[in-house]
Amino acid sequence: MKHLTITIDGPAGSGKSTVAREVARTLGFTFLDTGALYRAAAVAIERAGSDVGDNEECGRVISHTRILLTGGSIEVDGTDVTEEIRSPRISELSSAIAVHPSVRSELVRIQRSFRGLSSLVAEGRDTGSVVFPDADIKIYLNASATERAMRRQKELLTKGTDLPLERVLNDMNRRDNRDSSRSASPLVIPEHAVVVDTTHLTFHEVVAKILSIVEEKSADK
Ligand code: DC
């Protein structure tokens, strides 16, 4: 059978990471968390002490860094950064360095290398529009800004970071604006994507909805 590629894109807090992971697990597909690659790149650039506003310098650091994404963990030059990449500091920095075309081209190369080995569920901001424009099934997840901020606040709390909702909402809006307005591969609803609004849906309802879209669409293939 032909390998399938499913892309799940959306803004911060839309639930795409947890949902995409569960969809991949249920279908037995490889899961590709592209945001984790941008986050690991941010760690590498921060460690190198580079100017985060310099496209060429950031790209050079990434071309000399070994980023290894396997299963649920990620390494930067042999150091496990799985926990570190989820901090608010790295959330902010990853969005800042993601505007650079030189960083994006290095990371897109890594992302495309995941294809062909097995069927794939890729999640991120541009997986359906730029990384895998010919994906078999494209999903775009969204939710209201307040709902997304509440989810992010809860997630941070489970990791020991307690922030007021207003601060989480402000940080998220700033990141969303930057991710959607940058000139290199901005966050967009990819052509032919099915849009799912998750504001009033539970995690299990979103997973079930995506699985039914996959079943319906793959029957047409
Ligand atoms: O999905 P996330 O919150 O882990 O992503 C962190 C940042 O990485 C996000 O603010 C923008 C960037 N990113 C991107 O530009 N393109 C992707 N495909 C995935 C993430």
User: What's the pLDDT tens digit per position in 66-122?
Assistant: 999 998 899 999 999 999 999 989 999 999 999 999 999 999 999 999 997 799 999
| Tens-place pLDDT, residues 19-32 | 999 999 999 999 99
- Measure 50 CA to ligand 1 centroid, in angstroms: 20
pLDDT given at position 34: 97
Q: Model's pTM, two decimal places?
A: 0.93
- Measure 214 CA to ligand 1 centroid, in angstroms: 24
Cα–Cα distance, 29 to 134 (Å, whole number): 18
Cα–Cα distance, 85 to 65 (Å, whole number): 16
pLDDT given at position 2: 81
On whether the CB atoms of residues 41 and 62 are closer than 8 A, the answer is: yes
Nearest CA to ligand 1 atom 2: 35
Cα–Cα distance, 159 to 52 (Å, whole number): 26
The CATH-assigned architecture of domain 5-208 is: 3-Layer(aba) Sandwich (3.40)
Cα–Cα distance, 98 to 95 (Å, whole number): 5
pLDDT given at position 1: 63
Task: Write out residues with Cβ below 6 Å of ligand 1.
Answer: 12, 34-35, 38-39, 94-95, 98, 124-127, 175, 179
| Tens-place pLDDT, residues 151-204 | 999 988 998 889 999 999 999 999 999 999 999 989 999 999 999 999 999 999
On whether the CB atoms of residues 119 and 107 are closer than 8 A, the answer is: no
Nearest CA to ligand 1 atom 6: 35
